[in-house]
Amino acid sequence: MRLLSKLRHPRIITVMGAVMNKYVEPMLVMEFMNHGSLFDLLHNGTVILDGNLILPILQDISNGIRFLHSATPQMIHGDLKAQNVLVDDKFRAKVADFGLSQKKKLGSRGTPYWMAPELLRGESENNVKTDVYAFGILLYELYSRRLPYEGEDFQQVLKEVADPLFQKRPPVPPSCPSHIQSLMADYLLDETSDRHRPSFDEIDGRIKRVSTSNIEPDVMLPTKQFKKTSILMRGEQMADQLLFHIFPCHIAEALKHGRKVEPEHRDVVTIFFSDIIGFTNISSSLPAIKISNMLDRLYNEFDALSLAHDIFKVETIGDAYMAVTNLVQDQEDHTKQIAHFAIDALKAANETLIDVEDPSKGFISIRVGFHSGPVVASVVGTMNPRYCLFGDTVNTASRMESNSQKDRIQCSERAAKLLIKQCPELCIKCRGAIRIKGKGDMVTYWVNEKDSEK
């Protein structure tokens, strides 16, 4: 259990712990996989599975087993089948139940129909080659969407599978493309023959070559099925796009592949906060749907500006908008970028109606604040994970906003000094020392004031 809990790979299930009792098998605590087992998907008639989905699943399984075989000490799965492969909401697969199967049928470990002939004959223990054979039976499951030898006599099947002369194997499914048929035949070889089953290193390479080759004419999808699959693929692409909008690229990649995200420290970033003036009164005077519509219109403008100014949006909390520079990439002019973004955001807010159906309610007014300093960034939580910034810099930036005024931009002294270096042509005006909650007296500055002196 200690070994299993330490294994980490994007294509094997993460074992977080177990409930142990000497009278029953361990109950595992594992990461949640939305679609359950591959077996469940195969036997769900409403799920469309074709080459565009099957080949990535095969590659995922191959990668997972290859990792187990190369681990120290080496891990043999011993019971590879569709029931022991789990699938997430993006149709990516992870291998499960490795090293824990305690089935002791016919002198070896595993499920009989997936066991290699040499295991059935009692000539071998579970090893890398017996996992390869099980993978060949799994190919039959995938392309037939049925159990092997369904409806046949159990004892007779095992006898004929184990017989080195008879060498009974599942028939090639009609839907199985020709380039997969040859792979399946190699995986199901009897080890007494002149040829031998390939290793998972070879299997991984062969599946990659199949994945990158063109689809053969005889396996083209029916139009209706192709459309459904295209919709699924587009959905996956949209999900990836959304992930990369919410998180920095390297964080999104780590989350996508199941890797742990380590906290990151940055010596200096510039953090922007804005808030809507009189939001409480606006909320009490308008229906909730109109409040939602107002915020959507305003933050669509802010999001477009963040892209234009190369600003990373951290999050929105109610009427508050938080953004940062020099965090996800090195930006020499990070304070200048925030200042120009703040100026444009203020202008955009002043051009956004509170209620499009009642222009008499006027336009949105905001107050803005920003500050520069060190932060630690990390992903918090597993359910609805959030990318969060920690440190006094966040608190100070928030205080710059909350102590700002209507349609004005306030910054800290440190941010002002950086701004003078990075953008000397931008006017700033010293506000003087003001009382900041939790900070005492702080000297702050107004940015882009019309009557400002440099």
CATH number at residue 98: 1.10.510.10
Residues 155 and 207 reside in one and the same domain: yes
Q: What pLDDT digit, counting tens, does each position of 367-383 carry? A: 999 999 999 988 887 66
CA distance 29 to 130: 27
301 and 431 fall within a common domain: yes
ω before 222 within 30° of 0 (cis)? no
Mean pLDDT, residues 352-362: 92
The amino acid present at 360, given as its one-letter code, is: S
**43, 147: one domain:** yes
**Are residues 285 and 427 located together in one domain of the fold?**
yes
Residues 357 and 268 in one domain: yes
Q: Can you tell me which residue has the tokens 């599942």?
A: 170
pLDDT at 412 over 90: yes
Helix, strand or coil, per DSSP, at residue 316: strand
What pLDDT band is residue 356 in, cutting at 50, 70 and 90? very high
More confident residue, 381 or 169: 169
Per the domain annotation, does 91 fall within a domain? yes
Q: Is residue 354 located within the same domain as residue 250?
A: no
Cα(243)–Cα(254) distance, integer angstroms: 11
Q: Are residues 150 and 57 in the same domain?
A: yes
pTM confidence score? 0.49
CATH number at residue 273: 3.30.70.1230
Average pLDDT (219-242) is 49
pLDDT, position 45: 74
Number of domains forming the structure of the chain: 3
In a domain, 335, yes or no: yes
pLDDT value of position 454:
44
Same domain membership, residue 213 and residue 235: no
pLDDT tens, 66-115? Answer: 888 888 778 888 889 999 999 887 788 998 887 654 344 434 567 889 99
For residue 454, being part of any structural domain is answered with no
> What pLDDT does residue 51 have?
64
The percent of residues in the chain predicted with pLDDT above 70, rounded, is: 85
**Structural domain contains residue 452:** no
In a domain, 112, yes or no: yes
Q: Are residues 232 and 274 in the same domain?
A: no
CB 86 within 8 A of CB 33: yes
Contact, 398 vs 273, CB < 8 A? yes
**Do the Cβ atoms of 169 and 114 come closer than 8 Å?**
no
Both tokens of residue 351?
């051009």
Q: Is the pLDDT of residue 385 over 60?
A: yes
Q: Decide if 206 is inside a domain.
A: yes
Instruction: Quote the domain boundaries for residue 194.
Output: 2-218
User: What burial class does residue 425 get, using C-beta atoms within 10 Å of its C-beta: 0-12 exposed, 13-18 middle, 19+ buried?
Assistant: exposed
Domain boundary among 198, 233, 260: 260
Q: Where are the beta strands (DSSP E) in 2-132?
A: 15-21, 24-30, 85-87, 93-95, 104-105, 108-109
Residue 340 and residue 290 in one domain:
yes
Sequence-ordered list of residues with C-beta below 8 angstroms from that of 242, at least 6 positions apart, any chain: none
- Please check whether residue 131 is in contact with residue 66, taking contact to mean a CB–CB distance below 8 angstroms: no
- Which range among 1-15, 218-232, 307-321 shows the weakest confidence by mean pLDDT? 218-232
> How many angstroms separate the CA atoms of 36 and 83, rounded?
9
Over range 380-405, report the average pLDDT: 87
Q: Could you give the CA distance from residue 379 to residue 396 in angstroms, rounded to a whole number?
A: 21
Domain identity same for 126 and 268: no
Within a domain: residue 453?
A: no
Q: Which tokens is 323 given?
A: 């953004």
Same domain for 253 and 266: no
From the number of C-beta atoms within 10 Å of its C-beta (0-12, 13-18, 19+), residue 395 rates as middle
**Tokens 């380590």 sit at which residue?**
262
pLDDT at 31 over 90: no
Are 60 and 92 spatial neighbours (Cβ–Cβ below 8 Å)?
Answer: yes
**pLDDT number for residue 368:** 96
**351 belongs to a structural domain:** yes
